[in-house]
Amino acid sequence: MPRIYLSPPDISQQDHAAVDAVLTSNWVAPVGPHLEAFEAALAKRADRKHAVALNSGTAALHLALQMLNVQPGDTVICPTLTFAASANPICYCGADPIFVDSEPSTWNMDPILLELELGERAASGELPKAVIVVHLYGQCADMDPILAVCERYNIPVVEDAAEALGATYKGRAAGSMGAFSFFSFNGNKIITTSGGGMLLADKASWIERALFLSTQAKEPVAHYEHREVGYNYRMSNVLAGLGLSQLDDLGRRIAVKRAHFEAYRDALGELPGVAFMPIVDPDAANYWLTCLTVEPVTAGSSRDQIIEALADADVEARPVRGSRCTCSQCFRIVRRLAGIARKVCLPMDCVCRVVRRWARRIVRRSSRLCARVLRNDSHN
Ligand SMILES: Cc1ncc(COP(=O)(O)O)c(C=O)c1O
């Protein structure tokens, strides 16, 4: 049986046909009709007025911070529990990331801790230039109190919705709530363009400027004139064609991932020492990855032992990610590491096989439950 990967790309016959059609049209450079169509379709899905397609989510965040005028000496807040790409662009701008801890109920930025942090910073006259809020693993952060406190201090919010396409918060689309938002179409995401991202906002001038900066800041004149530093961040039209085709299939993808999450939870949710990432509203998440926390003493195995056991069975699982930064302000992250060290992501494939093998390994100390899991599994 082939190796089971954590979150492999899902490419359909329709995707092949879509890419073939773009190649046949010869619009293969980072310009063309599919880019505009992909931007319009994604903006509609995320309930945004404007969007610009880029070659990564990281590039999108970098441009958002540039437009918010983040500079050396500034600070930007972001959550502890996220991928490094949520914080790296802060450093590209020469600014310092300030990490605010995540709350257990959503695994996203804790609104109370954010309020405390902003209160302290306001008192010392050191308010951050922006707050980056991540919708981790396809579940939105608790945006209402976050937006309210940021509005009180007049700080723009950037939504890192890299993993959350199709998710909602109280009926509002992920990516529709901050001053800026962005998605990632990296190979492991819920839809992919192999690599890519999209920056969105409601203000047309911001997105026009992002497009300008993403295409080497070339002035709109016939000769090559550049008055400021730009970037090569634009998405290729071929990949926009793939993105359009994948976006068309988003509903099915969310349903498949939700079914995997529910199968894991039903099979393993009662095991001692195992707690799945809490889902606040089952109809609001996109279930991009299924993650859980393992209490090693109660479960009888540590996170790493479980990952190793799965690797022996040719199944890829990974630790949950957390930002780690070497700069002095980031010592706060240490508080979170104990929690992160117990969290694991499970693959989105072949649930039964994973459950069977894993259950055999980790529940030696609870044979009754193990037997139940295996019995249920064999009926699937
Ligand atoms: C939470 C988060 N933020 C940002 C990114 C960066 O996106 P990209 O890989 O497209 O640069 C990713 C994806 O890898 C992510 O998961």
Residues 134-177: pLDDT tens digits? 999 999 999 999 999 999 999 999 999 999 999 999 999 999 99
**CA–CA distances in Å: residue 119 to residues 110, 114, 233, 332:** 14, 8, 36, 17
Please tell me whether residues 70 and 172 are part of one structural domain. yes
The span from the CA of 136 to the CA of 106, in Å, is 8
For ligand 1, whether the C-beta of 239 sits within 6 Å is: no
Please tell me whether residues 234 and 89 are part of one structural domain. yes
Over residues 103-126, the mean pLDDT reads: 96
Is residue 78 predicted with pLDDT exceeding 90?
Answer: yes
Under the banding of pLDDT at 50, 70 and 90, the label for residue 358 is low
Please tell me whether residues 242 and 350 are part of one structural domain. no
What confidence tens digit (pLDDT) does each residue in 291-310 have? 989 998 998 888 899 899 98
Please spell the DSSP secondary structure of 93-128, one letter per residue: TT-EEEEEPBPTTTSSB-HHHHHHHHHHHHHTT---
Which carries the bigger pLDDT value, residue 333 or residue 317? 317
Please tell me whether residues 245 and 260 are part of one structural domain. no
Q: For residue 7, is it within any domain?
A: no
Q: How far is the CA of 89 from the centre of ligand 1 (A)?
A: 11
> Which residues are paired to 184 by β-bridges?
197
Q: For residue 2, is it within any domain?
A: no
Please tell me whether residues 166 and 215 are part of one structural domain. yes
Q: For residue 8, is it within any domain?
A: no
Q: Which pLDDT score is estimated for 331?
A: 36
Q: For residue 267, is it within any domain?
A: yes
Please tell me whether residues 238 and 341 are part of one structural domain. no
The span from the CA of 24 to the CA of 22, in Å, is 5
Q: For residue 54, is it within any domain?
A: yes
For the domain that residue 113 is a member of, what is the CATH number?
Answer: 3.40.640.10
Which carries the bigger pLDDT value, residue 326 or residue 237? 237
Under the banding of pLDDT at 50, 70 and 90, the label for residue 365 is very low
Indicate the top mutation candidate among 83, 91, 158, 318 to test ligand 1's pocket, ranked by most ligand atoms within 8 A of CB. Answer: 83
Could you tell me the residue range of the domain that residue 292 belongs to?
251-379
Q: For residue 234, is it within any domain?
A: yes
Least confident of 5-9, 75-79, 233-237, 250-254: 5-9
Is residue 253 predicted with pLDDT exceeding 90?
Answer: yes
Considering the entire predicted model, what is its pTM? Answer: 0.89
Count how many domains the chain has.
Answer: 2
Please tell me whether residues 285 and 372 are part of one structural domain. yes
Q: For residue 91, is it within any domain?
A: yes
Please tell me whether residues 245 and 282 are part of one structural domain. no
Q: Do 166 and 250 contact (CB within 8 A), yes or no?
A: yes
Please tell me whether residues 196 and 277 are part of one structural domain. no
What percent of the chain clears pLDDT 70, i.e. is strictly above it? 86
Locate the DSSP E strands across the chain: 50-54, 75-79, 96-100, 130-134, 157-160, 168-169, 172-173, 180-184, 197-201, 274-276, 290-294, 318-319, 343-346
Please tell me whether residues 187 and 61 are part of one structural domain. yes
Please tell me whether residues 114 and 244 are part of one structural domain. yes
For ligand 1, whether the C-beta of 323 sits within 6 Å is: no
Out of 189, 221, 249, a domain closes at: 249
What confidence tens digit (pLDDT) does each residue in 173-231 have? 999 999 999 999 999 999 999 999 999 999 999 999 999 999 999 999 999 999 999 99
Q: Which pLDDT score is estimated for 125?
A: 97
The span from the CA of 274 to the CA of 148, in Å, is 34
Q: How far is the CA of 132 from the centre of ligand 1 (A)?
A: 13
Out of 212, 229, 249, a domain closes at: 249
Q: Do 113 and 141 contact (CB within 8 A), yes or no?
A: no
Out of 198, 224, 249, a domain closes at: 249
The span from the CA of 333 to the CA of 100, in Å, is 8
Indicate the top mutation candidate among 76, 163, 194 to test ligand 1's pocket, ranked by most ligand atoms within 8 A of CB. Answer: 163
For the domain that residue 317 is a member of, what is the CATH number?
Answer: 3.90.1150.10
Q: At what angle do helices 33-45 and 237-247 cross, to 10 degrees?
A: 40
What percent of the chain clears pLDDT 90, i.e. is strictly above it? 76
The span from the CA of 91 to the CA of 347, in Å, is 31
Q: For residue 172, is it within any domain?
A: yes
Q: How far is the CA of 310 from the centre of ligand 1 (A)?
A: 25
Please tell me whether residues 99 and 222 are part of one structural domain. yes
Q: Which pLDDT score is estimated for 139?
A: 98
Q: Which pLDDT score is estimated for 53?
A: 98
